[in-house]
Every structure is written in structure tokens, then in C-alpha cells.
């Protein structure tokens, strides 16, 4: 069975309690349960870290293990050239996910260092965005 890494960055461990007016009431455990219940035929690995280096190590370790990555890099989206370089180096399809619509928020959130090396970006659909990303990867990998 094909394996997908779902990788979540800083502060996403606080989902459900952190700014629910922006990010919703769904917890990260809820997101994981939704993804595991979504019938895509994928084995799913689910990881979260508040540390950039740990996220980079997880991306590196995905090569040869996972067929693709779903990444919500949180605020590192807007700051991390290192994450961008890690994604480019592993040559795996990556779908960038954001719970909120980053393009409708503060100007500094409009720039994504992940987007240039991602297969695509899904933002603004809350936790449903992860399921959309799973479907997008399934479609991409079946071609």
C-alpha cells in the first residue's frame, strides 16, 4: 500500500484552542482521525513538530519511504528557505495545506516559500483541506 506523510508545523499542536475564530475548533487529533478514515487506500504517517530542523529531518526521511507529503508548515511557510530546499531535495510530490486562507490575511502571510516546490496549495477550507490534499495526491500518484 502507498504511504503518505502528513506533516504539521509549529503551533498546530494547539489546534482547537488556538484562535478558533481563525483555525476552527477541530483538534490535530481530529484531523488525524479524519485523514485515517478518508478512504484513499493510503497508509498514513502523521507527524507534528514546532522545530524547523525536526521538520527538515522528517522530510529527508520520507524519501524512499513515502510516495508523497502533505505539509502544513504553519508560520514556517512564510520564512523557511530551508524547508523549501528540503522539499526540493527529496523530489516527492508535496501538497501545501493551510486551514485559513493565507491570501486573505496579513500581507506577510501571502508569500509562501513552499509553493514554488509544491505540487499545489490548498488553503481556506479548514480541516477539510487535508482531505482535499489526500484526494489531490491520490489523483497525482495514479497517473
Tell me the CATH number for domain 3-141.
Answer: 3.40.50.9100
pLDDT in tens, 86-139: 999 999 999 999 998 988 887 878 899 999 999 999 999 999 999 999 999 999
CA dist 43 to 2, 40, 60, 87, 142, Å? Answer: 6, 9, 18, 20, 15
Catalytic residues: 23, 98
Backbone angles phi, psi at 126, to 5 degrees: 60, -150
pLDDT in tens, 10-45: 999 998 887 777 667 789 999 999 999 998 999 999
- pLDDT score at 1: 65
In the chain, where the domains are located: 3-141
- pLDDT score at 53: 98
- pLDDT score at 105: 82
Amino acid at each position: 500500500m502507498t504511504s503518505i506523510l502528513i506533516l504539521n508545523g509549529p503551533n498546530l499542536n494547539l489546534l482547537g484552542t488556538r484562535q478558533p475564530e481563525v483555525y476552527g475548533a477541530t483538534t490535530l487529533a481530529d484531523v488525524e482521525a479524519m485523514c485515517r478514515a478518508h478512504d484513499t487506500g493510503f497508509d498514513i504517517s502523521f507527524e507534528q513538530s514546532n522545530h524547523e530542523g525536526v521538520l527538515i529531518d522528517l522530510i529527508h526521511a520520507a524519501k524512499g519511504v513515502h510516495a508523497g507529503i502533505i505539509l502544513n508548515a504553519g508560520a514556517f511557510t512564510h520564512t523557511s528557505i530551508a524547508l523549501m530546499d528540503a522539499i526540493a531535495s527529496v523530489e516527492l510530490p508535496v501538497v501545501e495545506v493551510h486551514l485559513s486562507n493565507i491570501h486573505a490575511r496579513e500581507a506577510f502571510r501571502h508569500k509562501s516559500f513552499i509553493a514554488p516546490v509544491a505540487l499545489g496549495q490548498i488553503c481556506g477550507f479548514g480541516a477539510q483541506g487535508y482531505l482535499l490534499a489526500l484526494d489531490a495526491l491520490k489523483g497525482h500518484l495514479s497517473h
